[in-house]
Amino acid sequence: MLTFQTNIWEGDWRLVLAQDYLEQAISRCNKDFESKEIIVNNVKDREAVKKALDEKISQGVIDKYYFVDDHIEKVLKHYALTKSSFNGAYYVSSSELTGIYLCQTEFLLYFKGDAFLYTNNNSWIDQGVKVLQENNDILVANPTWNGKSAEVKSESFEELDDFFIGYGFSDQCFLVRTNDFKKQIYNETHSTSKRYPRGNPFEAMVNSYMRNHQLKRITHKKDSYLHKNFKLKLFLQKIPFFRDSYMQQRFKKY
């Protein structure tokens, strides 16, 4: 029972929903998901976004989508949070919290809209689920970030089969037991969370909780994801399914 979620906002929804980007991103997970969902936040033209999402549903690419604004009041109440809890990081945090709150499966795989796996032959998800099922002190699993295996190893203190074990949390990509994250775990602080940018974002809240309770994450040694700001021109050169002339022309402003 595994849900795939990703989020879109005004700065990237045209890219995420264009051509076959989303299809490729999901396909690279190498999994049959119980549900494939999009969390929508901070967009200007709701009807235009809704139309594009309805098309993705009709194509069978996704199953559901949610607008954060429709749910955020009860989401914040559920977690005992307010908008001021994020210290200016509300918009970069509310999508994830909304997605977790609405997720109906035992496990959740979440990607930021501008993060995706390098290759199609990934095994980390099945392996990660197994570890999470067997180890309550491990809270999250993820692939190596941006191919930086040496960095991952240097930040770890233990190994488990194909994973390095360490502390820390990133909202770029995470695989979790959904119920763990539906608890009121977001009101703690820890000195290591000061390294996160933009106030008190979701990922800093999770990191504080993990550190205070000695909860660990596992990072796959081989499988990796890429996180690249969509507004960087380099992004268009890096991603094969953005290389054709139509895509280059349509999204050159990014």
Q: Is the pLDDT of residue 28 over 80?
A: yes
How far, CA to CA in Å, does 144 sit from each of 80, 122, 165, 189, 250? Answer: 32, 12, 12, 26, 31
Task: Report d(CA 175, CA 119) in Å as an integer.
Answer: 18
Q: Please provide the distance, in angstroms rounded to a whole number, between the alpha carbons at the two ends of the chain.
A: 36
- Give residue 155's pLDDT: 87
Whole-number pLDDT of residue 251: 42
Largest CA distance in the chain: 51
Q: What is the pLDDT of residues 109-164, one digit of tens each?
A: 999 988 888 877 778 999 999 999 999 999 999 998 887 888 888 888 999 989 99
Condensed to tens digits (0 to 9), the pLDDT of residues 186-215 reads 999 999 998 887 899 999 999 999 999 999
CB 119, CB 13: distance < 8 Å = no
**Contacts of residue 26, Cβ cutoff 8 Å, sequence gap at least 6:** 4, 33, 36, 61
What does the pLDDT read at residue 239?
Answer: 52
**pLDDT surpassing 50 at residue 250:** no
Average pLDDT, the chain: 88
Residue pointed to by tokens 């290759």? 119
Q: 245 pLDDT exceeds 60? A: no
State residue 254's pLDDT score: 36
Averaged pLDDT for residues 95-122: 91
The pTM (predicted TM-score) of the whole model is 0.89
The CATH code of the domain that includes 243 is 3.90.550.10
Does the structure show a pLDDT above 70 at 25?
yes
Q: For the chain, how many structural domains are there in total?
A: 1
- Which domain does 158 fall in, by range? 2-250
Query: 41 falls in which pLDDT band (50, 70, 90)?
Result: very high
Which pair of tokens denotes residue 62? Answer: 């996704």
> DSSP states of the chain as a string?
-EEEEEEE-TTTHHHHTSTTHHHHHHHTT----SEEEEEE-S-S-HHHHHHHHHHHHHTTS-SEEEEHHHHHHHHHHHTT--GGGGTT-STTTHHHHHHHHH--SSEEEEE-TTEEES-S---HHHHHHHHHHH-TTEEEEEEEETT-HHHHHHHEEEEETTEEEE----SSEEEEEHHHHTSS--S---GGGGGSSSSS-HHHHHHHHHHHTT-EEEEEEEEEEEE--TTSHHHHHH-GGG-SHHHHHHTTT-
pLDDT confidence of 253, banded at 50, 70, 90?
Answer: very low
Instruction: Say whether pLDDT at 235 is over 80.
Output: no
pLDDT of 231 reads 54
- Residue 115: the pLDDT is 86
Stretch 74-96: mean pLDDT: 96
